[in-house]
Structure 1
């Protein structure tokens, strides 16, 4: 196989970025088809990028005999069904998170991946492919910080995007499911265990609109893991300064911190406001390289006939834990996982 011919479903912000990476930045991939509801988007990529095939229907796209794989970046509620259909059509599948919007959907995705085990399936937990997060994992695995005992993570969206968050809230599943799944995945990865108890609190401190969905604009959770380790998660929608993802792993011999200041780059600005650093403003800017790296890994797995480190079961487990966080948040009680 000279190049992996791939089709992309979904041309929203992230889907467009994935398609662009496949078209121009991943040498072993060829963007052969795109599928979206937006006619203008389809015409643009066909004209500007020379994409041979465009579709408005996913089932039509996966019938294209030229395709080797698909990348799913459609709305969350469509993922499970599209994963199953693409695998059944003989295609390798990369799907953005979440694996499914319910644990039951995730189980269905598991069955499909198990049934078509000769195909590569990969889920988009891109933080594992960020250079700093990978480096931290190597430090932990080498024992450099001793035994990891506490994982702390902050994930915050900018206040300036709040209208979009409110509009999407009814479909998001809540903060823990929509945003904290990345931190849950990292906690499991770094601590090498599964959580067994969770207590969650939060509220609508600035935007009461989220209350109708039993959600908050800022929420947090404290988890106890089966190996005795702890994890604290905070997810917010009202950061005044920009997109903020901050992670800390405390061990018995040392501490690792990643992104403690969400700086845009290494530049410092000295002006009449003092000395300051600009911050990343969205997830595409902060994790630009990670999104490229994860899809490049997917393509390499197909070519090299191997399976990626992120599995379908990681998707199910993080969804299950996120729902338990939501349950604990809604009940106000310590909840068993």
Structure 2
């Protein structure tokens, strides 16, 4: 297979990132079709991406476009149904997180993937492909910090984007569902174990609007893992300085910290406010390279007929843990996974 013909569904902020990467930056891949319910996004695909075929119907794109693979970057409730349909058509599938909006949907996606073992299924947990995170994983595997036993994770969206979070709070699933899956995946990845139980709390000091849909602007969670490891998570929507992602892995012989300052670059500004580093403002900016690397790996898996290290089960597990956090927050108690 000399060239992988890809169709994409969803051309919002992240969809455009994936579409540009497929169209212009990945040898062996060609973006041939795009699907969106927004006319402006289809115009973007035609004019900026030079896509020859555009569709407002996902089903029609699968039936009419000459495709080898699809990239699913649509709204979260659509993912599992679109995964099933694409696999049934014999296509390879890349899907953005979350795998599904509830555990039952994730189980259906598992069955669809299991029924098509010769097709590549790739889940977009892009932080595993970020150079800093993959470097940390390599050092851990080499024994640089001994046995890892704790992860401290922080993920806070900028205050500048909070109005959007408030607007979509009634349908987003809440803070722990909407924003925690990447950190949960990293906790499992770095500690090499499954989460056993979780206790989560929330606080609203700045935006009481979240209370109207039983949500929170800031959340904290403490995890116990099956191998005895522990993790803590701080997730929120009100970072004054920009998009803040930070992770620390603690081991018996040392620790690794990733992005303690969410710096835009290595430049330091010296002015009347002191010495300052500008911060990244959004997830596409912070993980621009990771999005490219994960899509390159997806195409390479198809070409080389190999299975990705990330599986559909990683998506299910992350969803289960996020729902356990939500349950703990709402019921104000410790929740054991699987109860």
TM-score, normalised via structure 1 length: 0.99
Structure 1 CA distance, aligned partners of 2:259 and 2:48?
36
1:25-44 matches, cutoff 5 A: 25-44=25-44
Task: Tell me the equivalent position of 2:79.
Answer: 79
**1:43-58 residue pairs with structure 2 within 5 A?**
43-58=43-58
Aligned 1:244-283 pairs, distance under 5 A: 244-283=244-283
Q: CA deviation at 1:70?
A: 0.3
Given that residues 53 and 65 in structure 2 are in contact (C-alpha distance below 8 angstroms), is that contact kept between their aligned partners in structure 1? Answer: no
**8 Å CA contact 2:33, 2:65 repeated in 1:** no
Matched, 1:159 2:159: yes
In 2, Cα distance between the equivalents of 1:3 and 1:169? Answer: 41
Please tell me whether residue 88 in structure 1 is matched to residue 76 in structure 2: no
Q: Distance in 1 between matches of 2:75 and 2:65?
A: 25
- The runs of at least 4 consecutive aligned structure 1 residues that moved more than 2 Å come to none
The equivalences for 1:143-292 within 5 A come to: 143-292=143-292
Ranges in structure 1 where 5+ consecutive residues have no aligned partner: none
Match of 1:320 in 2: 320
Instruction: After superposition, give the CA deviation of every residue in 1:217-251 in whole Å (9 maximum; x if it has no partner).
Output: 00010001111110001101000000000000000
> How many residues of Structure 1 are paired with residues of Structure 2 in the alignment?
337
State the distance in 1 between where 2:63 and 2:42 align. 18
- 3-state DSSP of counterpart to 2:44: helix
Q: Quote the residue 2:297 is aligned against.
A: 297
Equivalent residue, structure 2, for 1:14: 14
CA–CA separation in structure 1 for the residues paired with 2:25 and 2:163: 33
CA shift, 1:293, in A, is 0.5
Q: The residue matched to 1:62 in structure 2 has which SS?
A: helix
Task: Return 5+ residue gaps in structure 2 as ranges.
Answer: none
Counterparts of residues 127-142 of structure 1 (less than 5 Å)? 127-142=127-142
* CA-atom RMSD in angstroms: 0.8
Query: Deviation of residue 172 (structure 1)?
Result: 1.4
Asked if the contact 1:203/1:215 (under 8 Å) is kept, the reply is: no
Separation of aligned partners in 2, 1:139 and 1:44? 42
Deviation of 1:65 after TM superposition, in Å, equals: 5.0
- Separation in structure 2 between the aligned mates of residue 231 and residue 87 of structure 1, nearest angstrom: 36
Q: Show the counterpart of 1:308.
A: 308
Structure 1 residue 146: deviation in Å? 0.7
TM-superposed CA distance for 1:2, in Å, is 1.2
Counterpart CA distance in 1 for 2:169 and 2:178 is 9
Moved more, 165-174 or 297-306: 165-174
Contact 2:12 2:41 in 1 (8 A): no
SS in 1 for 2:48: helix
TM-aligned CA deviation for residue 28 of structure 1: 1.1
Normalization by structure 2: what TM-score? 0.98
**Deviation at residue 170 of structure 1 after TM alignment:** 1.7
Displacement of 1:114 in angstroms is 0.4
- In 1, are the aligned partners of 2:8 and 2:71 still within 8 Å (CA)? yes
